A and B are shown apart, each in its own frame.
Chain A
Amino acid sequence: MTPTSPRRAAILGGNRIPFARQFGPYANASNQDMFTAALEGLVARHGLGGERLGEVVGGAVIKHSRDFNLTREAVLGSSLAPETTAYDVQQACGTGLENALLVSNKIKLGQIESGIAGGVDTASDAPIMVTEKLRRKLLRINRSKTTVDMAKSALRIRPGDFGIETPANTEPRTGLSMGEHMAITAKKWGITREAQDELAALSHQNLAAAYERGFFDDLMTSYLGLAKDQNLRADSTVEKLAKLKPVFGKGEGATMTAGNSTPLTDGASAVLLGSEEWAAEHNLPVQAWLVDGEVAAVDYVHGDEGLLMAPAYAVPRLLARQGLSLQDFDYYEIHEAFASTVLSTMKAWEDEDFCRDRLGLEKPLGSIDRSKLNVNGSSLAAGHPFAATGGRIVASLAKMLHEKGPGSRGLISICAAGGQGVVAILEGA
């Protein structure tokens, strides 16, 4: 059944700053600096200075506690009217796409006329935490009422309590890093090193070609001297990638390298959405419609499913609701957390047992035409500042669909930490 929605939510444009490698040109830029820059570029390009938008939804996966109102602070630092509301969302790597769904849903319901969805992350300007033991003891000192109490509490601190911690890319419940989780899934699906390196090389080549033809000219503003994604290696080849040593997984069968896994990156993105009427009033051509979205979660804790496999479940649910098949799309944007994530997901959709036993389908979803996959590159080449990836993909895909023409269709699939996955369908306008 296709739910009837009162009106449609249009994607009107997007902007991001080039993504930088960890400790690169954005080493000293904060999440707020970067998100404000991405937002301001979007505002400038679409003439939104002084405008009160329905809302701005942003967020970061790794966030200082002082940045509790990160997105609101970025709005106040931008040229948007200070009366524009804002809030933060955190759904790991799904944040950016989830935010686009939230804004589009409010537009469809008529609660707002316009909004910006985005996200930001820094792997460089990370919050520093003290050890849990030290933190508890420091809090105790902080709440002591007398100097004697304070001195007593201070004496409880032991040399072994000292140490600093930064957020780690590790699942709290399993203690495994994302890469280690992915290595298990990749092995289970028999994803070869060669297939991963091929996908990675193609990502770099596609992204380089997109830059070459000016695809990003109206999707990006340079920042702190960087005009292109720093991670991009236009001359990347399967042969070069084949030389790298595996970093995730163990022993002979290890296939995942730094080349076919996304590097830690810093960056921000933002997408402008609006109702059809609002877009017309502001003379902003509609690029694409945000048709529908779905979020799924899997039980990765007890070994039942791979950490990054949730999109494999979300997509069939979304297809069923929209009455579409996996082959009804002109473009597929499957976020390249790791090359093996994309390959495992596609293999699962082709697999009869998986589709029957896990998805409850009579027949497999089938294959997708690889020539329609990540045609302008994806996270392996561009980098992946967690919460910024959704905005990067939505803005790029909307533009691709607009170029393709009305009625063209695109599918977005983004896996996220915590065993979740956010997927969406866009339609060209």
Chain B
Amino acid sequence: MGRQETFSSAPSLAKVFVRAAVAGKKSGSTLPTSELVLAGHAVDRAHLMDYQRLCGFGVDDVLPHTYPHILGFPLQAELMARKAFPLPLVGLVHVENTITVRRTLTADDVLDVAVHAEALREHPKGRQVDLVTEVTVAGESVWSGRSTYLARGRGNPDAERGAEPPAIPTGVAAAQWSLPGDLGRQYAAVSGDVNPIHLHALTAKAMGFPKAIAHGMWTSARVLAALGRSVNGPSTSHVWFKKPVLLPGRVDLVVDRTQSPVVAGLRATRRPETEHLVLTLDTRA
């Protein structure tokens, strides 16, 4: 690991996105070696409550499985917006995310959140990179996340694709959710992720989407919340993002608990063949 840069508060994502939008062309095949650290982060309970409500977690003192991700995400974006980062931030597609919770975290834990990039690699559809988030409490490793992003471009058809996702469960929906048109704006307000593709149909159209799309990490968090409290204890999740969820929209949650780890997915209610995400959850720690 290279240089460590410590932040006392998270970088503003709006500024990061603007900087990225006006940044010139990026190239290269090496990653910045810096590790960006948000040190001594005390959980803001009002923020935690907003996140818990929006994603369907219970409102209490336990940090949801996915909560540390939104603390690390501004650091991820900051790193990816930099000149030294070889892929353009705008246009990166979040394709996979794994999270390991080593112990139940509470609002009283003071978190050190460290982010670095690794594993820049070729992919049949372009290039992929992993942004790794490590969370420690007083030096104890408590939470890890790995976000895989794809920069579409000239790919290498022979390149490794990575682990294949399991098939999305079939059968009747365990739940059906109506997602409001302003869901992207609501999640942006909580997560700070103000990527225009999530905010409004017009801004999404400018970016090549027919409508605003839901944040992948909201859909993933919402599915995990629906799987019960155990997700917030020691556990590992792996989500593969497939087709974006257009807003407003209606989605079906499908769950297969007969498999181990548990498999869950989200598909479009009107067109069940449209698969939005599939994830595995292992709580056998």
Question: Interface of A with B (CB < 8 Å)?
Answer: 28-30, 33, 36-37, 40, 77-79, 222-225
Most buried by A among B49, B58, B59, B228: B59
Q: Which of B49, B58, B59, B61 contacts A222 (CB 8 A)?
A: B61
- Annotate B39-56 by CB proximity to A: 1 below 8 A, 0 otherwise: 000000100010000000
- Annotate B51-84 by CB proximity to A: 1 below 8 A, 0 otherwise: 0000000111100000000000000000000000
Shortest C-beta distance, A145 to chain B (Å), equals 25
Q: Which of B45, B49, B107, B229 contacts A40 (CB 8 A)?
A: B229
Q: Are A29 and B59 within 8 A (Cβ)?
A: yes
Shortest C-beta distance, B223 to chain A (Å), equals 16
Shortest C-beta distance, A272 to chain B (Å), equals 18
Q: Is B33 at the interface (CB under 8 A from chain A)? A: no
Give the docked Cα–Cα distance between A223 and B228 (Å): 20
Number of interface residues of B (CB under 8 A): 10
Residues of B within 8 A of A29 (CB): 49, 59
Q: Are A79 and B49 within 8 A (Cβ)?
A: no
Q: Are B229 and A79 within 8 A (Cβ)?
A: yes
Q: Are B49 and A28 within 8 A (Cβ)?
A: yes
Residues of A within 8 A of B59 (CB): 28-30, 33, 37, 224
Closest-by-CB residue of A relative to B56 is A77
Q: Are A33 and B58 within 8 A (Cβ)?
A: yes
Residues of B within 8 A of A225 (CB): 45, 61, 107
Q: Is B230 at the interface (CB under 8 A from chain A)? A: yes
Q: Are A33 and B230 within 8 A (Cβ)?
A: no
Residues of A within 8 A of B107 (CB): 224-225
Closest-by-CB residue of A relative to B50 is A28
Residues of A within 8 A of B229 (CB): 40, 77-79
Give the docked Cα–Cα distance between A223 and B106 (Å): 10
Q: Are A36 and B45 within 8 A (Cβ)?
A: no
Shortest C-beta distance, B43 to chain A (Å), equals 10
Residues of A within 8 A of B61 (CB): 37, 222-225
Q: Are B60 and A33 within 8 A (Cβ)?
A: yes
Closest-by-CB residue of A relative to B62 is A40
Can you report 12 residue pairs joining A to B where beta carbons are below 8 Å apart? A28-B49, A28-B59, A29-B49, A33-B60, A36-B60, A40-B60, A40-B229, A79-B230, A224-B49, A224-B59, A224-B107, A225-B45
Within 8 A of A (CB), among B237-252: none
Known: A79-B229, A223-B61. 10 other contacts (CB 8 A): A28-B59, A29-B59, A30-B59, A33-B59, A33-B60, A36-B58, A37-B59, A223-B60, A225-B45, A225-B61
Closest-by-CB residue of B relative to A33 is B59
Give the docked Cα–Cα distance between A77 and B107 (Å): 19
Residues of B within 8 A of A78 (CB): 229
Give the docked Cα–Cα distance between A36 and B58 (Å): 8
Shortest C-beta distance, B229 to chain A (Å), equals 5
Query: A224 and B45 in contact (CB under 8 A), knowing A40-B229, A79-B230?
Result: yes
Query: A37 and B60 in contact (CB under 8 A), knowing A77-B229, A79-B230, A225-B107?
Result: yes
Most buried by B among A29, A79, A224: A224
Residues of A within 8 A of B230 (CB): 79
Q: Are B45 and A77 within 8 A (Cβ)?
A: no
Closest-by-CB residue of B relative to A29 is B59
Give the docked Cα–Cα distance between A223 and B107 (Å): 10
Residues of B within 8 A of A28 (CB): 49, 59
Closest-by-CB residue of A relative to B59 is A33
Residues of B within 8 A of A40 (CB): 58, 60, 229
Shortest C-beta distance, A32 to chain B (Å), equals 8
